[in-house]
Amino acid sequence: MRFSSIRVAAIALLFALFATGCATQQKPFDYSAFKQSKPKSILVLPPLNSSPDVAATYGMLSQVTYPLAESGYYVLPVTLVDETFKQNGLTTPSDIQNVAPAKLREIFGADAGLYIDVKNYGSSYIVVNSVTTVTASAKLIDLRTGTVLWHGAATASSNEQQNNSNGLVGMLVSAVINQIVATTTDASYKIAGTASSRLLMAGRKNGMLYGPRSPKYMSD
């Protein structure tokens, strides 16, 4: 009788785990609007900063051109774009991201605009560890129609490379050192590069499609 009860409980647990796994699986992204739009050029708008670190906007902005260019898109120079906004009295990311897509298309001539929101940016001291984390979400909008072509999110952390096998004292010392280094050198900048690649590099599940400058264009 006991064996039967254990068996029933084990089967129920397996079903629960299976259901949980199915619930957390990502649904395939609908790329129909993206493929119909076929954007060739992307205007990257200064990211919104939802984190407490004032360096988040430009820390992330400086990292996004590489993965987009590697994925096959022409990216308007971010410094030129930023200066153009400033010359027209737009100095905050929120004001810039509220500009109508058609107006952005008229000014810059880009096919699509990339809207980024930095959710987390910076280092924090957690128990016996100092962790630098960058999390961001993004959406790609067709500037000709205002249609959302794609959206996604990604995160990266310094904890992914840290080895905490040196005992409690070693972990404490390492955490203090990491916190000091992170604070004085802006360790978030490097982590932002990893996060932006995960977010914007084509070829990832539910990620950006390859652009027309890539040899893999139209293969995804």
Domains of the chain (ranges; CATH) run 28-200 (3.40.50.10610)
Q: Model confidence over 165-216: pLDDT tens digits?
A: 454 444 444 445 445 444 544 678 889 999 999 999 999 999 999 999 999 9
Average of per-residue pLDDT values in the chain: 82
Q: Model confidence over 42-88: pLDDT tens digits?
A: 999 999 999 999 999 999 999 999 999 999 999 999 999 999 999 99
Task: Taking residues 128-154, report their average pLDDT.
Answer: 92
Could you write out the DSSP letters of every residue in the chain?
-HHHHHHHHHHHHHHHHHHHHHHHSPPPP--HHHHHH---EEEEPPPEE-SS-TTHHHHHHTTSHHHHHHTT-EE--HHHHHHHHHHTT--SHHHHHTS-HHHHHHHH--SEEEEEEEEEEEEEEETTEEEEEEEEEEEEEETTT--EEEEEEEEEEGGGT----SHHHHHHHHHHHHHHHHHHHTTHHHHHHHHHHHHH-TTSTT-PPP-TTSTTTT--
Percentage, residues of the chain above pLDDT 90? 65
Residue 5 above 80 pLDDT?
A: no
Residue 142 above 80 pLDDT?
A: yes
